[in-house]
Amino acid sequence: MYDKLTRLSQEMKLPDDSRGRIRASLSSHQPTEENMKKLSFKTRAPLIAAVIAILALTVTAGAAVIMTFRNDIIVSSKEDVFDALEEQGEGGAVAISSPIASKVPSTLEEITENDRFKTDDWDKGERINGGILTEYFEWDRAEVLSGDPTLRSRLITRSDGAEKVEYTAENPINLLEAISGRVTIDLSWIDSHYSYVPDANLSYIVTDENGDYAAEYFQALYAKEDGKGWFRLSFENAAADKLSDRSYIIDGSYETSYYYTSTDGYEFLIKMNNGQVWVNCRMEHTSVDLYGAYLTQEDVENILDNLSLTVK
């Protein structure tokens, strides 16, 4: 166990500064999310030529890296979905994403209570399950390593040898000490424009039964000064390509839906409806997400442009 913890602690140090500026090439058509409605069609929808993932060429440490964005696909009408499926000529089903018209956003108080569930359980060890991969979702036992609110840590284990090291902190900036460096973000701009919600955040790293990196997750909750608006910023990363087929979104089903390329060169799908905001940037191994309430388009774009996001 101690060898694994040593190896894990070495892996969790922040990487050296900046990975160089990303040059993005934007193509307009890509996709959607949340509250999915599955429809069975006679044909399947893998990737349509017109909406194949956007490739962005990045220069990092002198090496060329190609990023493939897998955001959901915006189309003009349902007929466009049928036409695309017929062109593919394969049987199967496709998902069309749309909002629930009657759903209203959670209040800041409700989302705070929801997002504190790990912190509130820290010493009890009753809420240890969870993970972004189904094979690493259920766990057996927890050992508290530190209860210091600056950066709490606990070791979650199970009989096959897989381990999950969980962290929470009063200030989510401190959680950045506990990520592997495969995905990096800078929270300083957000911290100066929004108020973090104390202890309503979480990160963890999962290693498999051989002690090898399997996945990690990070989330932080911030509130606007008006006490009404809020957002949860998160990312997840997995060693294996874990993303499923993309779904479709019919243009107009959300009040607002469009693609936005941040200053770091990452393409995000932004959707807004009835006070709610969904933002996603999906790649082969990584998903960067924002879910919030009562934010403007300018709010969202400024957050994305000031993340200093890098994905290795």
Burial 116-133 (b: 16+ CB within 10 A, else e): bebbebbeeeeebebbbe
Domains identified in the chain, total number: 1
Give the model's pLDDT for residue 79: 84
Give the model's pLDDT for residue 93: 66
Question: What would the pLDDT profile of 124-144 be if each residue is shown by its tens digit?
Answer: 999 999 999 999 999 999 999
Q: Where do we find the tokens 């049928």?
A: 82
Tell me what the mean pLDDT of segment 5-34 comes to.
37
Where is mean pLDDT largest: 48-62, 74-88, 112-126? 112-126
Going by pLDDT thresholds of 50, 70 and 90, the confidence category of residue 36 is: very low
**AA identity, residue 19:** R
Tell me what the mean pLDDT of segment 228-240 comes to.
96
Q: What strands, in cross-sheet order, belong to the sheet with 36-41?
A: 36-41, 92-97, 248-250, 73-75
φ, ψ at 212 (rounded to 5°): -90, 150
Domain that holds residue 77: 2-311
Question: What would the pLDDT profile of 168-183 be if each residue is shown by its tens digit?
Answer: 999 999 999 999 999 9
Q: Is residue 48 over pLDDT 90?
A: no
The model carries a pTM of 0.78
Total count of residues recorded for the chain: 312
Give the model's pLDDT for residue 272: 96
* Separation between Cα atoms, residue 178 and residue 136, nearest integer Å: 19
Question: What would the pLDDT profile of 260-269 be if each residue is shown by its tens digit?
Answer: 999 999 999 9
Mean pLDDT over each residue of the chain, to the nearest integer: 81
Higher pLDDT, 55 or 291: 291
Reading the block at residue 273, the tokens are 């409806």
